């Protein structure tokens, strides 16, 4: 596959959506063919799964059910969206991927991380990101950004603060153990965060032969 998969990760309100949009504009300006997608909800089937997963009223979803629904969304997304775009040589900017499941269902819910790794492998058939940008911001800052955005809180966002703290620790541990995960200080303003992302990606784009 000729394309590259760039994944954005982080806790609620870390700024993934804003940064992906700015990044897309920058790559288009450079003349690079770019596709933006997300998990859950990067396909038509995934949109239905996303609604089920995030609807605040769905209080009776068991942890294992939740895990399997995220995996089902991913399996569909990899085959329908990621692989075909990588075959075409596109750069993909993906809002969340396998590390979200480790952070939220593993560290957050306390499900077995070895099992999650196996499930991720099944869902992705081994497709990994080329680089993962972890937008690191305090959970209190992220949650307060989301609250002031006026969006209605979803099922996961409504979890207790201790849950979000475990998720954040999960990301920190993942980053400490993998060179591929680059920490970006997402507490700064949007422009400063985007500058750091572009600096990080510029080297990769050269190494990958895009510029």
> Exposed, middle or buried, 102 (CB in 10 Å: 0-12/13-18/19+)?
buried
DSSP-H helix ranges across 4-138: 16-29, 44-54, 63-77, 83-87, 98-101, 113-124
Residue 94 or residue 210: which is nearer to ligand Z5A going by CB?
94
Interface pick for ligand Z5A out of 1, 18, 138, 204 (rule CB under 6 A): 18
CA angle centred on 113, ends 107 and 116, rounded to 5°: 110
Measure CA 181 to chain center: 12
Pair 184, 136: CB distance under 8 Å = yes
Does 15 count as an annotated binding residue?
A: yes
Q: Does 16 bind ligand Z5A (CB under 6 A)?
A: yes
Piece of 14-22, 80-88, 123-131, 176-184 that binds ligand Z5A (CB under 6 A): 14-22
Q: Sign of the C-alpha dihedral, residues 21, 43, 157, 69?
A: negative
Interface pick for ligand Z5A out of 4, 6, 15, 46 (rule CB under 6 A): 15
- Alpha-carbon Rg of the chain, whole angstroms? 16
Interface pick for ligand Z5A out of 4, 23, 46, 70 (rule CB under 6 A): 70
Interface pick for ligand Z5A out of 43, 76, 90, 101 (rule CB under 6 A): 101
String of contacts with ligand Z5A for each residue 151-190, x by CB under 6 A: ---x-xx-------------------------------xx
Residues that bind ligand Z5A (CB under 6 A): 12-18, 39-40, 54, 70, 95-96, 100-101, 104-105, 145-146, 149, 154, 156-157, 189-190, 193
């Amino acid at each position: 596959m000729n394309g590259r998969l760039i994944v954005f990760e982080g806790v609620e309100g870390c700024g993934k959506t804003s940064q992906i949009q700015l990044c897309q504009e920058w790559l288009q300006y450079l003349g690079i063919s770019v596709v933006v997608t997300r998990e859950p909800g990067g396909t038509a089937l995934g949109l239905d799964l996303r609604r089920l997963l995030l609807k605040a009223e769905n209080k009776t979803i068991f942890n294992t059910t939740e895990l399997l629904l995220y995996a089902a969304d991913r399996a569909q997304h990899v085959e329908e969206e990621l692989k075909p775009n990588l075959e075409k040589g596109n750069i993909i900017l993906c809002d969340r991927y396998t590390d979200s499941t480790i952070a939220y269902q593993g560290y957050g819910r306390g499900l077995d991380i070895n099992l999650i790794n196996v499930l991720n492998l099944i869902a992705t058939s081994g497709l990994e990101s080329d680089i993962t940008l972890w937008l690191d911001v305090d959970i209190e800052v992220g949650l307060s950004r989301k609250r002031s955005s006026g969006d209605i809180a979803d099922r996961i966002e409504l979890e207790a603060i201790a849950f979000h703290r475990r998720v954040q620790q999960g990301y920190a541990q993942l980053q400490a153990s993998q060179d591929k995960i680059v920490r970006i200080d997402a507490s700064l303003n949007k422009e400063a965060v985007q500058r750091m992302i572009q600096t990080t990606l510029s080297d990769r784009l050269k190494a990958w032969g895009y510029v």
